[in-house]
Amino acid sequence: MQKKFLTNLGLLLFLNLLVKPFWVLGIDRSVQNAVGAEDFGFYFSILNFSFLFNIFLDLGITNFNNRNIAQNHQLLNKHFSSILILKLLLGVLYVITTFLIGFIIGYDSKQFEMLAWVGFNQFLLSFVLYLRSNISGLLLFKTDSVLSVLDRLLMILFCSILLWGNVSKQQFRIEWFVYAQTAAYVTTMIIALIVVIKKSGFRKLNWNWPFLLMILKKSAPFALLVLLMAQYNRIDTVFIERLLPGKTGDQQAGIYAQAYRLLDAANMIAFLFSVLLLPLFSKMIKLKQSVEDLAKLSFSLLFTISAIVAVASWFYSNEIMNLLYPIHQDENQLIYQQRIDQSALIFSMLMFGFIAISSVYVFGTLLTANGSLKQLNIVAASGVVISIVLNLILVPKLRATGSAYASLSAQYITAIAQAVLVVYLFKFRINVKYLASIIIFIVGLGIIGYYSRLIPLDWIYKLFILVSVAFIYSLVLRLLHIKEFIRILRSEKE
């Protein structure tokens, strides 16, 4: 399984690194700069609001289905023909819920119009993820890898035409960005649907109420987990927009979005690990195979990457924000620098949270594959409480920066709790030498970052030196073990 993980991870990373960095740094950033912090903050707060209720689109079905199909391939046809109907009904429930809550918290007509399109996109995305859960559950990782980048590839095409194709004399509007997403998701959904229909031998929809109730009952713990994780991962900008008065809320949400955008990009890469790990862990647990080596391998890879990214982001946050976000035409130099300084601080904090998030993609995925949903939900609920309390306390005082503190606290507390749970439930050995290597690596990264600032070169070269030396340092400490990777890839035994 380690060989299958590494080979398919290589393909998945290759495709995503070809497409998604350009999406984030080329398209998404260009849209933010074209519409301004206020308009993008308006969109971003509604986007994150729509994420809070994604539970009603899925009710944990996607994660349950991925785990179940990985362990029982023969059930695909039976499950797919019934779950299709359930997904459509859940889409209706999602729309009703989001609009009702939007009305309660005081959304106006402009916000509701944006919410309608963003909510429809959330439905399409949820449907694509469900379809992909069938494909990855069958361990068809190459097909799933292509589908994982198809929507972004189409968005790049559509947004490039709208941004730089001179198709309109009007200035680029945030609504166009949302419409491009809709077109990309619809196209990807149709292609994924064709693949699943072909693999499942699907012929007709099957309304089976007792079966649907059984699916809902079994997926309920997964649903609660998704709901809780969405709350403490996406609730920050909703608090910013709601707790701060007038345009200040939109502006601060936009500043937070500038910083969060690169964390979101990094999460896209880390998330790919969980896409592969969930079906692999599920299969190994059913076959009663040890998951310790695969868990250690995947954690070492993700921890090393996330720690290097976090330290690099800390030491060069201002330079990165200045590079990505130029001054707006309605800003003076003082206001611009204040915006960049605040974004840089938030960015450096959020990227340190990336280390915790990365560990969750390994340990949380392993606990999900094991069916340890009760423990996971308790941990996630704790994260929600911490996030809400800290946002309520800190946002009125520190504005968007307060949300960054809340996010960082919730992420690390939940990550540590999940790691402890994994060690306890799976009886992993406490490897003191390995833990010491992790601590030494973090301390060493801080020293490397500090001295890289003293090199008399342009910051781009200093950043490159930091990352290069850090990578070599990880090899010296054997957090990344090249010979072991080669041995696994040459192994014939799965």
Q: What pLDDT score was predicted for residue 232?
A: 62
Give the integer Cα–Cα distance in Å for 394 and 177.
Answer: 32
Q: What pLDDT score was predicted for residue 64?
A: 74
Give the integer Cα–Cα distance in Å for 292 and 427.
Answer: 9
Residue pair 494/3 in contact by the 8 Å Cβ criterion? yes
SS3 478: coil
Share of the chain above pLDDT 70, in %: 91
Residue pair 469/458 in contact by the 8 Å Cβ criterion? no
Q: What residues contact residue 196 under an 8 Å CB cut-off, 6+ apart?
A: 80, 131, 134, 135, 202
Say if residue 493's pLDDT is above 50: no
With CA atoms as reference, report the closest residue to 111 among 170, 45, 176, 173. 45
Say if residue 168's pLDDT is above 60: yes
Give the integer Cα–Cα distance in Å for 392 and 239.
Answer: 8
Instruction: Give the least confident one: 61-75, 123-137, 380-394, 437-451.
Output: 61-75
Instruction: Give the least confident one: 36-40, 210-214, 366-370, 490-494.
Output: 490-494
Query: What global pTM score does this model have?
Result: 0.71
Say if residue 489's pLDDT is above 60: no
Domain ranges of the chain: 2-429, 431-494
Give the integer Cα–Cα distance in Å for 393 and 402.
Answer: 8
Give the integer Cα–Cα distance in Å for 226 and 217.
Answer: 15
Helix axes 246-286, 109-137, angle to 10 degrees: 10
Say if residue 491's pLDDT is above 60: no
Say if residue 438's pLDDT is above 90: yes
Share of the chain above pLDDT 90, in %: 34
Question: Tens digit of pLDDT for each residue in 46-103?
Answer: 888 887 787 788 777 777 777 777 777 666 766 777 788 888 888 899 999 999 998 8
With CA atoms as reference, report the closest residue to 171 among 329, 332, 331, 333. 329
Averaged pLDDT, 266-271 = 80
Give the integer Cα–Cα distance in Å for 17 and 11.
Answer: 10
